[in-house]
Structure 1
Amino acid sequence: MLISLFAAGTAIYTLFLSSVIAALLLAKDKRQSRQNPISIIIAARNEAANLPRLLESLNGLDYPNELFEIILVSDHSTDDTKQIVEQYKDMPQLRFLDFTGELPGLTGKKAAIHYGIMHSRNDILVFTDADCEVPPTWLSAINSRFTEETDYLLSYSVMRRKTGSGLMRLKNFERSIYYALAAAGLYFRKPITSSACNMAYRKSAFLQSDGFEGIGQIRSGDDDLLLMKMMPFIRKASFCADPAAQVTSYDGIDKVQHHQTNIRRASKFRYFPFRLKALAAFIFVYFIVFYIMLFTHFKELPLGWILLKTALELALSALILAKAKRLCLLVLYPVQILIFPLQFVYYAIRGSLGKYEWK
């Protein structure tokens, strides 16, 4: 019974992997040459320690100064955010908004982002986080993918610490898989996930979809939940893995905060559409059966299915990592394939409880 269940589950799982691989192979990287006016929006709460690095990188962008603005929204910050921004008052594109109020129906970061969007002057909005660093080519690379019909663009990001870390490499491998899923979701117009640290969309599409209305009370989801809500109003959504558009997210949080962040992200599943809940439930059960088989029926595992599963996982990993020019991380597959299922199952359970701490 267990073997038949595993074989059936593996068949469905490999079909899912094949569809993601197909999306990555079929998606076209269309570009245009017109330089569009752009608004960069950053919501920051008590990020004074990270802002100098971000602002220095934004000050080095190779995009024409007259064609972009930087809107930095202080989201009820109580640290030295305002004083740090004052040190960059010579940046002509920088606009500082000290948001200390409340907006009806909006909680946390969504209120600050909405406030920034409403004060933006341009239709193309580009978002990143305060703990990130952008390359000089960032805006140019994003702009080149914003064709006339493009309304949404998700770009790649990597995590880094000031000192090298094997854990960071594992995180970046895992991150690449989520980006592969996100890219497939955009290709099939069935969003799976997104990332607020490096995304862009049109203000017009945001307004047509009524923005955060209906999801504003949820503390997280300013990226994926918003994308799901906006998709009917999006003409074309694309994914960009080009290193020229990649941002670096610096992980300065401790293990407890990282643990709470993972719980917070997993807690969003309750708000996802049924198709994603069903997919998550299937993967949850499949991983549990896989581990039961691994430790109790190892000799009975169907070798053919295991080889097919492994080949497709390797192909998917290699494809997204090659697109992002991070293929060296593929050597971590044997470690990640053992860790990820356990992590997925654990945080799926913790996230369903909905209890976490957040700043």
Structure 2
Amino acid sequence: MEVIFTIFVLIYCLLVVRFHYYWLQIPVFHPQPAKLSEQPLRASVIIPVRNEARHIVSLLQDLEKQRLNEQQLLPKRNWEVIVVDDASEDETATLVRNFASQTELTITLIPSDTATRNRSPKKQAIWQGIQSSQGDYIITTDGDCRVEPYWLLTWLQFLQQYRPALAAGGVTFHQEKTWFQRLQTIEFASLIGMSAASIQTQHPITCNGANLAFSRSAFRRVGGYQGHWHVPSGDDEFLLHAVFREYPKGVFFLKSPEAVVKTYAKRTVTSFIQQRKRWAGKWKMHREAQVVLLSLLVFIFHVGFLSGLIYFTLGVTLDYWLVGLLFLKVGVEWAFLKSVLRFLKKKENLINLLPLQLLYSAYFILIGLIASGGGYTWKNRKHHQHD
């Protein structure tokens, strides 16, 4: 048991160290205010929404304030906003329509085709938005997000300089009011760091559609969401892998503090579990061996790690060797997360890493088992994993 436990911990630590190394290799990109090329590319910001009456106006206000520099707003000729309403049951559409009538920002509101069957509602909304858009690049975010004043300028300059087929950006939580929400910030930071590092290694694993950009030509070339329309979520992750197969040198991570998008952590345990079931359930749908292998490896690690802790706890004696392994695990995670949280401007949340250590393995195993079958609720709709 001691040998197996040691092997599990060492493999896991090497994996975290590898992620940390490649995270540090990603260059930080800063926008240059008042600088756009003579013929800048055009971007279409697409926002699929469903029941976002509480948040959508705040996001549109953020977009209205996008800046070229301290004195000037970002020229409207470079971009447009398309909001696609996915059969909202609240005042979302009315709020967007009213805001659009009172601003100089180019905002188009279109309804999603709810008659389309056997399709992911969110993918359908984004796909329709793309059909109505004019941009060279599509930038997606969500209706409950907030963006900084130089978010779009940063994206435009990055896209102009690197011309990626697809690029992912940073996402974090904000306005965390409870210890439970602060724990979510820590976990989510690890996912963002892993996502960025895996893209840097040219073995991408995942990304987040709340801050994602891709070229119109790349989207067309891979057939859009062809092959995974039946999966309710994954508009970001499956597109990432489809684009990478066609453009192995064309996938990037935008590591820029100015371009980090903020959203909200889940307020209740029930909503949190539903979200994690949705995320975890996608691994079975993947064609990429590295995604399936990593998912299984991490799951096996947590099973072994939790079993080892229980075994040694029941054994009464606490060996220095076990304490050393635990310190090693915490140390490599601490170093990695400290770097990611500093980038996300969430370094103060690092103190919550220690209590998370005691809960995470049990939580990870539980979510993995729950996600292996059954369905989940998303945006007031029930979905099944085999949909």
Mark the CA change 1:283 to 1:199 in structure 2 (over 3 Å): closer, same or farther.
same
Alignment of 1:316-331 (within 5 A): 316-331=336-351
Q: CA deviation at 1:172?
A: 1.0
Asked if structure 2 preserves the Cα contact closer than 8 Å seen for 1:109 and 1:219, the reply is yes
* 1:308 correspondence with 2:328: yes
Could you say which residue in structure 1 is the equivalent of 2:65?
60
* 1:90 correspondence with 2:80: no
Say which SS state the counterpart of residue 153 (structure 1) adopts: strand
Q: Which amino acid aligns with 1:85?
A: V
Q: Which digits, 9 at most, give the CA deviation of each residue in 1:5-43, with x for residues without a partner?
A: 111112221221121011112222356853432110001
Asked if structure 2 preserves the Cα contact closer than 8 Å seen for 1:105 and 1:213, the reply is no
Could you say which residue in structure 2 is the equivalent of 1:208?
221
* 1:295 correspondence with 2:310: yes
C-alpha distance in 2, partners of 1:105/1:117? 20
C-alpha distance in 2, partners of 1:105/1:350? 24
1:125 to 134, 138, 142: 138
Give me the TM-score of the superposition, normalised by structure 2: 0.86
Q: Which amino acid aligns with 2:337?
A: S
C-alpha distance in 1, partners of 2:336/2:219? 32
Alignment of 1:1-359 (within 5 A): 2-29=1-28, 34=37, 35-62=40-67, 63-88=74-99, 89-91=101-103, 92-103=105-116, 106-146=119-159, 147-161=161-175, 164-234=177-247, 235-251=249-265, 254-272=268-286, 273-298=288-313, 299-300=318-319, 301-358=321-378, 359=380
Q: Which amino acid aligns with 1:44?
A: V
Say which SS state the counterpart of residue 239 (structure 1) adopts: strand
What percentage of aligned pairs have identical amino acids? 25
Give me the TM-score of the superposition, normalised by structure 1: 0.92
Bigger mean CA offset, 152-161 vs 264-273: 152-161
Asked if structure 2 preserves the Cα contact closer than 8 Å seen for 1:152 and 1:201, the reply is yes
Mark the CA change 1:23 to 1:60 in structure 2 (over 3 Å): closer, same or farther.
same
C-alpha distance in 2, partners of 1:90/1:237? 38
Say which SS state the counterpart of residue 372 (structure 2) adopts: helix
Say which SS state the counterpart of residue 109 (structure 2) adopts: strand
Bigger mean CA offset, 297-306 vs 273-282: 297-306
Bigger mean CA offset, 299-308 vs 120-129: 299-308
Q: CA deviation at 1:119?
A: 1.2
Mark the CA change 1:124 to 1:229 in structure 2 (over 3 Å): closer, same or farther.
same
Q: CA deviation at 1:278?
A: 2.1
C-alpha distance in 1, partners of 2:92/2:333? 43
Q: CA RMSD in A?
A: 2.1
Mark the CA change 1:124 to 1:295 in structure 2 (over 3 Å): closer, same or farther.
same
- Could you list the runs of 4 or more consecutive aligned residues of structure 1 that deviate by over 6 angstroms after TM superposition? none
Q: Which digits, 9 at most, give the CA deviation of each residue in 1:24-68, with x for residues without a partner?
A: 122223568534321100011122222111111111111221111
C-alpha distance in 2, partners of 1:284/1:236? 30
C-alpha distance in 2, partners of 1:177/1:318? 10
Mark the CA change 1:17 to 1:139 in structure 2 (over 3 Å): closer, same or farther.
same
Structure 1: 5+ residue runs without aligned partners?
none
Q: CA deviation at 1:179?
A: 0.5
C-alpha distance in 1, partners of 2:279/2:151? 26
Asked if structure 1 preserves the Cα contact closer than 8 Å seen for 2:138 and 2:216, the reply is yes
Mark the CA change 1:248 to 1:5 in structure 2 (over 3 Å): closer, same or farther.
same
Q: CA deviation at 1:286?
A: 1.6
